[in-house]
């Protein structure tokens, strides 16, 4: 494919988290390594997050949902990668992907919401990537002329995870990493930390960039009272924290694949119950333990599981390296996605 510029079209804000943004950044790094130019294409409400992270204004295009005026005014764009499917917006996101395809550019849809959030619409994109565990069994193949790539080998992580795989160590007396995503609207991080305090083992707690001042203050108070707590304020990367941890706990998100890539066991809580079949597959394959807070006592069951780690026998098991998960997520996802894009025909704006 003869690339001009790639448009990374994604969403990010407190209610949906920063997973889409982090995948966008990872793809941007992979494109940079290949000397391919790109834009970050995001709604107005996402722009402050990018500017805070040091993304140059010249690389940002502001867009509106279901509107492709931004694309029609940029003839230098030959390919668009969309990553804007989030829980509850499947119809509009799928319609926008089709609208982008109607301009004639080459389009790849990334849909990380299992089991089948992307809705086939015409004109169809050139490729659909479902980068999650057991994707091949959880959704139907897309339209005949659309390339479909699926599975955990396409999970998009920062290139550094491939490096950290070789350095990651686990020990039965190791640290526990607690991460609840970029935002924490229901004080989930407070509950997770409190449940683990009786273990008296070192706790690394990630303070997301969108945490409220109240949550930050409560975590700071806990740190003063309990010296085993170390707070990490909006770290640029979680990779070194995961690498030195014995296990990872918290809110379900991209972290489940990041932890798996470094061979760590995870204990997570997922919102709702919409993806039960998909999430049950993680435990069935020995990938991670995932609780559903939409279940009766789902949140309390998760917290009780954390408290159970005070049992040395269980802790030893959970702290063991997870070879199964590490094999499934090899850290090459971003490269695999860009390799696919390079094999597609160049698009032209109509």
pLDDT in tens, 119-135: 989 999 999 999 988 88
Q: Enumerate residues 6+ apart whose C-beta is below 8 A from 177.
A: 204, 206, 238, 241, 242, 245, 247, 248, 249, 250
∠ CA 281-286-288, rounded to 5° = 75
Mean pLDDT confidence for 176-195: 94
Confidence of residue 349 (pLDDT cuts 50, 70, 90): very low
- Is the predicted pLDDT of residue 17 greater than 60, yes or no? yes
Mean pLDDT confidence for 92-96: 96
- Is the predicted pLDDT of residue 348 greater than 60, yes or no? no
Q: Which of 145, 102, 68 is closest to 344 using CA atoms?
A: 145
- Is the predicted pLDDT of residue 169 greater than 80, yes or no? no
**Number of alpha helices (DSSP H) and beta strands (DSSP E) in the chain:** 15, 13
Confidence (pLDDT) at 170:
52
- Is the predicted pLDDT of residue 20 greater than 70, yes or no? yes
- Cα 347 to chain centroid distance, Å, stands at 28
- Is the predicted pLDDT of residue 19 greater than 90, yes or no? no
What digits encode the pLDDT tens for the residues 281-317?
Answer: 888 888 899 999 989 999 999 999 999 999 999 999 9
Confidence (pLDDT) at 172:
46
Contact indicator for 155, 249 with CB cutoff of 8 Å: no
Confidence (pLDDT) at 226:
97
pTM of the model: 0.82
- The region of weakest confidence among 163-167, 238-242, 252-256 is 163-167
Mean pLDDT confidence for 69-78: 93
- Is the predicted pLDDT of residue 239 greater than 60, yes or no? yes
Highest mean pLDDT among 124-133, 154-163, 213-222: 213-222
Q: Enumerate residues 6+ apart whose C-beta is below 8 A from 125.
A: 82, 97, 98, 100, 101, 107, 108, 109, 142, 146
Q: Is 50 helix (H, G, I), strand (E, B) or coil?
A: helix
Confidence (pLDDT) at 2:
53
Confidence (pLDDT) at 3:
58
Contact indicator for 7, 349 with CB cutoff of 8 Å: no
- Is the predicted pLDDT of residue 350 greater than 50, yes or no? no
Distance CA 250, CA 136 (A): 27
Contact indicator for 260, 281 with CB cutoff of 8 Å: no
Distance CA 112, CA 131 (A): 6
Confidence of residue 276 (pLDDT cuts 50, 70, 90): confident
- Is the predicted pLDDT of residue 200 greater than 70, yes or no? yes
Where do the DSSP E strands lie in the chain?
Answer: 5-10, 37-43, 60-63, 77-83, 106-110, 127-130, 147-150, 175-179, 203-207, 229-233, 245-251, 265-270, 289-292
Task: For the chain, give the percent of residues with pLDDT over 70.
Answer: 96
Tokens of 254: 């991209």
- The region of weakest confidence among 114-123, 233-242, 312-321 is 114-123
């Amino acid at each position: 494919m003869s690339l001009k510029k790639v448009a990374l079209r994604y969403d990010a804000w407190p209610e949906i988290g920063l997973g889409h943004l982090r995948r966008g950044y990872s793809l941007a790094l992979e494109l940079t390594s290949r000397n391919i130019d790109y834009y970050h294409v995001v709604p107005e409400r996402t722009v402050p997050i990018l500017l805070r992270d040091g993304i140059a204004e010249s690389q940002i295009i502001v867009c509106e949902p279901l509107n492709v005026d931004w694309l029609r005014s940029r003839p230098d764009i030959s390919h668009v990668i969309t990553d804007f499917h989030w829980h509850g917006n499947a119809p509009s996101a799928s319609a926008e992907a089709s609208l982008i395809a109607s301009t004639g550019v080459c389009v790849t849809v990334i849909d990380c919401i299992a089991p089948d959030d992307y809705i086939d619409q015409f004109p169809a994109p050139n490729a659909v990537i479902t980068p999650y565990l057991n994707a091949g069994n959880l959704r139907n193949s897309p339209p005949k002329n659309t390339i479909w790539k699926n599975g955990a080998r396409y999970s998009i992580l920062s290139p550094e995870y491939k490096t950290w795989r070789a350095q990651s160590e686990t020990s039965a007396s190791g640290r526990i990493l607690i991460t609840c995503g970029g935002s924490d609207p229901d004080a989930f991080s407070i509950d997770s930390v409190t449940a683990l305090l009786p273990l008296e083992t070192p706790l690394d707690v990630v303070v997301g960039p969108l945490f409220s001042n109240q949550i930050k203050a409560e975590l700071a108070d806990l740190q003063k009272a309990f010296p085993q707590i170390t707070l990490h304020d909006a770290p640029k990367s979680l990779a070194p924290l995961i690498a030195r941890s014995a296990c990872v706990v918290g809110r379900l998100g991209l972290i489940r694949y990041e932890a798996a890539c470094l061979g760590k066991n995870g204990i997570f809580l997922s919102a709702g119950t919409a993806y039960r079949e998909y999430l049950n597959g993680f435990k069935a394959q020995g990938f991670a333990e995932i609780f559903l807070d939409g279940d009766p006592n789902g949140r309390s069951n998760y917290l009780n599981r954390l408290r159970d780690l005070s049992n040395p026998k269980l802790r030893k098991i959970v702290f063991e390296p997870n070879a199964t998960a590490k094999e499934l997520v090899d850290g090459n996802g971003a490269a695999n996605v860009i390799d696919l894009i390079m094999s597609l025909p160049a698009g032209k704006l109509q």
